[in-house]
Structure 1
Amino acid sequence: MLRSQGNRIFVEQSFEQDALLRMLAALHSLTEKKLYEEIHLDFSACDAAFAGPMLAVCSQALWLHQKGILTHLTLPNAPKIARLFHNTNWAHLMNPEHFAASDYRGHDHVAAIRFTKARDQQEAVTRLVDTILETTTDLERGDLAAVEWALNEITDNVLTHAESSIGGIVQLSRLGRKKLLEIAVVDHGLSIPQTLRSGPQKHLEDQDALLSSVQEGVTRDATLGQGNGLFGTYELARFSGGFLNLYSGHASLRLDHSIVSAQPEAVPFPGTLLVAGLCYSDSTTLAKALRFQGRPHEPSDSLELRYELNDENIIYLRVVDEVDSFRSRPAAEPLRTRVENLRRMVSHNRIVLDFEGISLISSSFADELIGKLFVRLGPTDFMDAIVIQGASPVNRNLIDRAILQRSAALFPANHKPS
C-alpha cells in the first residue's frame, strides 16, 4: 500500500514491483504539479523491500537531487528491514545528506553501486564478480563467465545508450536456497523505446519495442553495439529457468516460467529498469545458454585476466588487501570461499597467500581461512596448491596450530599420545 499526504509519501507493507509505478506517479505529482522542493519518503511501516523497485526509487532520488529537490528518508521501524536499507546502500542513495555510504559485503546482498563512467562500471563488475566468488561455492567457471558477461553488457548499455545524467546503479543479490543470482540495473536516461525509435524502427509502440529489444541483433545503431546484451541476458534467464522484468517508457516486459509478455503502462518509467534472475541449480546451464547466430559463445572471464597472467602459474593474494579485519571468523570466510573457488576453477595454478603487513591475526581467523582450507582441499591438495608467505612468527604459529588442530580431527589415530 502506498499513499501521500502533503509532501510525504508513505510506503506501508511491502514495496514490490506492483508499487513501483504508483511511487513514480506520486513523485511526479508532488514535484512537477505541486512543485514541492523537498520530499519525504516514509518507509516506517514497510515490512519488505526488493532490489529492483528500490533501485528505481534511488535513481529517481538522485535525479531529483540534480534538479535541486531534496529527498528525506524515514527508515522502516522493523530493525531487520532498516539494516537492509543501510547495507544495500539504498538509504545513502535516497538521502545522502543523512546516511553514509554502505561498505557492506555480505552473503546475500552487495551494496548498490552507482557508476557514471567506464572505470566506475568496470570496478563495479569486478566487485560483483568477487562477491560471487566469495559467497557461491557451486558455480562452474563457464557459468561464472556467463554471469560476468551479462553484468558487463547490461551496465555498458547504460553508458552507451541511455545518456543518463546520473549514470546507472547496479546491485547483485543471491538467493542461496533457490541457487539464483538476481541482477538489477537502473538508469534515468533515454528509454529503450526512445533509443530504438532513433534508429530504423521509428514507429514501434513501446511494448513492441521492449519485445524487440530482447531479440538477437536488435540495436539502434550497429556502430555502437551488436544488440546482444539484452538478448543474451534474456536467454540466460530463460534457459536457466529464471526470470526477467523490464520497465522502460510506457511499457513493461516480464519473462516468467519461459513465458514472455509485454504490456503498455499508463505511468512512464524514466529510463530503464532491468531485473534478471539467473538460476545456477544445474551446472553449466548458464554457460550453454549464450548462443549467437546459432553458435555457442564462450566469453572470457576476469579470472583469466586477473589471475592467470603469471608466467609461473601462480595466483597471488595479499591478505591485507583482501579482507577488512583479521580478528574474526566471519572476516575470513569470504576469502576462504574465494580461494576454494579459484582452486576449483583454475586448478593448474598455485595460490600464494601473503600475510605481510599484518601484525596479528586471531586464532579463529587462522582456523577459518587456513584450517578449513586444509580440511576442504585435503592434505595433499592443500600442500600442492597453497603457499603461505610473509607471516610473522606469531601469525605463523597461529596458522600452524590451526592446521595441527584440524589434522588431529581428521586423523585422530595419528595424534594419540604415546
Structure 2
Amino acid sequence: MAEETPTSYMLHKLAGRHDVSDFLTSIKKAHDSGARTFRIDASDTGTIYPAGAAPIAAIIEHYRSEGMDVKFTNIPAGSFVERVRIRNPYIASKENLNEPGSRLNTVWAYTEDSVFDLTNCVMEELAERIEFGPGVFAALNWCLFEVLDNVFQHSDKEVGFFMAQILKTSNRLLFCVADAGIGVHRSFYQGGKYRPPTAFDALTLAVRQGVSSTGDKRGNGLYGLKGVVESNEGKLELRSGRGYLRISPNGIEGGNTYGLVINSENHCTVVDFELNVRTPVDLGQVLGVPTQDLRLESIENDFGEHTIHLIDHAQGTGTRAAAERLRNFLMSYINDGAPYLILDFEGVAMVSSSFADETIGKLAERFGPVGFSQRFRLINMNQSVQMLLDRAIALRISAQFYRDDKIPARE
C-alpha cells in the first residue's frame, strides 16, 4: 500500500477572519477527502493577530482530536510564529502562568477552572505595561473574565483558546477568545427558550441584556462587552458558524456570510474585540448598576487608604524597564479612582538612580510638586533610598521649571 502524501498548506498570515476561513476551508477539504496528515508550512508566515491565531489554534485542536496529524513545518527559529505557539498552545495552569515571561502574544488553552487565574495574570501584566485611562482597567477586567467564562456556557467544549496583544503605537489592546464547539446558534436551541432562525439572529440575541442560551437571566457577559466597546469607541466582532456581528464607531453590521462551520456538530465561535487604552469607560453606567472596584479594595486599609508595598514587585528596583512597569501599575490605580497612594518602601534596601528617575521623578514631573505630594505618600525609606528619590524629584522639577520658563538649564 502506497504511503499517503501529506496535504500541505502555506500559512502566509493570521490577521483576521478571512485568513481563518481560508485555513478552515483547506483543512476541512483535506479531512473530508480522507487525508490523515496535514502539514502547515510556516516559512513565509507574516502578520499575526489574536483574531487569526486563537481561532486557528481551536480548529487545529479539533482536527487533532479526530485523529488527524496536524504539524507545522519550516518554522524559522526565533520567529514570531514560534513565539505565538499556535501549534502547541500553552496550557493555562498555575505553574505555566507563573513562569517568567510575558502572557501576551501567546495562545493559551484554558479550562473553566483556569479562567480566574488566566484573567488575573493577563490583567496584572497589562497594568504594568501600559497606562490605562479612567475606568478602562476595571471594565476590561470584568469583560475578560466574562468572555473567557462564556465559552463554557455555549460551546459544550472543555477547552477554550485565548490571545491578547498590545499595539503601543496606536494605544490599542487586542483580544480574541475562540472555541470549536457547537456554536452560539445551536446552543440556543439546546437551551430551549429561544429559537433564533439563523446564526446571525443568535448573535443579536447573545448581546441583549439578560439573554442567555440557558434561558435564565444571567446573560450579561456579551451585553456588557458590547456596552464597554461602544463606550470606549473600540471594536467588537462576533463570529459563530455562518453568522457574524460587527460593532465599531462606524456602526453595527452583520449577516450570514462568513462561514466557520467545521461540520454539522461543530461551529467555530470567535469573540474578537479591541479597546482604546486611554478612552475612559464607566462600567457601572454601561451595566446600569453600581459596581465595585475589587482591585482598589484589595489594597485598601481600614482608613480608606491604598498602599503599594514596593518589595512585592518582582520586577525589581534596578532598571528603567522595571521602573516603567511600576509607574504604569501605579497610574492604573490613580486613574481608577484612588485619591492617593501610599508607597511603602519597607524592605527595599536600594534603588538605582535610573529607577528613581523613571518612577518617582517622572511622576513628580507629571503632577508637579504640589500635585505629587497630594497623590503619592512615600514611607519607610532608608537614608540611601530617600536621598536618591529626593534627588530624582529635584532634578525633574528643576528641568521642568527651566523648560516652562524657557531658561536654559545647566548641564
Q: Which among 199, 202, 206 is matched to residue 213 of structure 1?
A: 206
Q: 1:92 to 1:103 in 2, by over 3 A?
A: farther
Aligned counterparts of 2:383 and 2:74: Cα–Cα separation in 1: 47
Aligned counterparts of 2:244 and 2:328: Cα–Cα separation in 1: 38
Q: Name the structure 2 match of 1:11.
A: 11
- How many correspondences in the alignment? 391
Q: Which among 220, 224, 234 is matched to residue 226 of structure 2?
A: 234
Same amino acid, percent of matched pairs: 20
Secondary structure of the residue that 2:330 maps to in structure 1?
Answer: helix
Aligned counterparts of 2:39 and 2:90: Cα–Cα separation in 1: 10
Question: Superposition pairs for residues 195-210 of structure 1, below 5 Å?
Answer: 195-198=187-190, 199-202=192-195, 204-210=197-203
Aligned counterparts of 1:90 and 1:353: Cα–Cα separation in 2: 41
Amino acid at match of 1:318: H
Secondary structure of the residue that 2:214 maps to in structure 1?
Answer: coil
Amino acid at match of 1:27: I
1:17 positional shift: 1.7
Amino acid at match of 2:80: R
Aligned counterparts of 2:384 and 2:45: Cα–Cα separation in 1: 49
Aligned counterparts of 1:184 and 1:302: Cα–Cα separation in 2: 24
Residues 254, 262 of structure 1: 8 Å contact kept = no
Asked whether 1:403 is paired with 2:400, we answer no
Q: Name the structure 1 match of 2:275.
A: 278
Asked whether 1:252 is paired with 2:251, we answer no
Amino acid at match of 2:177: V
Residues 89, 112 of structure 1: 8 Å contact kept = yes
Asked whether 1:188 is paired with 2:180, we answer yes
Aligned counterparts of 2:379 and 2:273: Cα–Cα separation in 1: 41
Q: Name the structure 2 match of 1:125.
A: 119
Q: Which among 111, 114, 117 is matched to residue 116 of structure 1?
A: 111
Aligned counterparts of 2:387 and 2:278: Cα–Cα separation in 1: 40
Normalization by structure 2: what TM-score?
0.79
1:266 positional shift: 4.7
Secondary structure of the residue that 1:327 maps to in structure 2?
Answer: coil
Q: Name the structure 2 match of 1:331.
A: 322
Asked whether 1:139 is paired with 2:130, we answer no
Deviates more, 1:58-67 or 1:256-265: 58-67
1:136 positional shift: 4.2
Q: 1:42 to 1:70 in 2, by over 3 A?
A: same
Aligned counterparts of 1:123 and 1:95: Cα–Cα separation in 2: 12
Asked whether 1:297 is paired with 2:294, we answer no
Aligned counterparts of 1:140 and 1:47: Cα–Cα separation in 2: 35
Aligned counterparts of 1:380 and 1:71: Cα–Cα separation in 2: 61
Q: 1:78 to 1:234 in 2, by over 3 A?
A: farther
Secondary structure of the residue that 1:300 maps to in structure 2?
Answer: coil
1:339 positional shift: 0.9
Secondary structure of the residue that 1:46 maps to in structure 2?
Answer: coil
Asked whether 1:36 is paired with 2:41, we answer no
Question: Superposition pairs for residues 244-393 of structure 1, below 5 Å?
Answer: 244-256=236-248, 257-268=250-261, 270-279=267-276, 282-284=279-281, 287=283, 290-291=286-287, 296-308=288-300, 310-354=301-345, 356=347, 360-389=350-379
Q: 1:325 to 1:158 in 2, by over 3 A?
A: same
Residues 62, 93 of structure 1: 8 Å contact kept = no
User: What are the ranges of 5 or more consecutive residues in structure 2 without an aligned counterpart?
Assistant: none
Aligned counterparts of 2:353 and 2:74: Cα–Cα separation in 1: 38
Aligned counterparts of 1:260 and 1:78: Cα–Cα separation in 2: 41
Tell me which protein shows more strand as a share of its residues. 1
1:18 positional shift: 0.6
Residues 317, 353 of structure 1: 8 Å contact kept = yes
Amino acid at match of 2:151: V
Structure of greater relative contact order (alpha carbons < 8 Å, 6+ residues apart): 2
Q: 1:393 to 1:172 in 2, by over 3 A?
A: same
Aligned counterparts of 2:341 and 2:91: Cα–Cα separation in 1: 46
Aligned counterparts of 1:36 and 1:391: Cα–Cα separation in 2: 65
Residues 163, 176 of structure 2: 8 Å contact kept = yes
Aligned counterparts of 1:373 and 1:91: Cα–Cα separation in 2: 43
Aligned counterparts of 2:377 and 2:140: Cα–Cα separation in 1: 30
1:140 positional shift: 1.1
Aligned counterparts of 1:359 and 1:33: Cα–Cα separation in 2: 67
1:7 positional shift: 3.6
Q: Deviations over 1:47-90 (max 9, x none)?
A: 212211211112233445555655443576597xx23751x554
1:104 positional shift: 4.4
Residues 332, 365 of structure 1: 8 Å contact kept = yes
Q: Name the structure 2 match of 1:149.
A: 142
Normalization by structure 1: what TM-score?
0.78
Q: 1:203 to 1:387 in 2, by over 3 A?
A: closer
Residues 91, 109 of structure 2: 8 Å contact kept = no
Residues 354, 390 of structure 1: 8 Å contact kept = yes
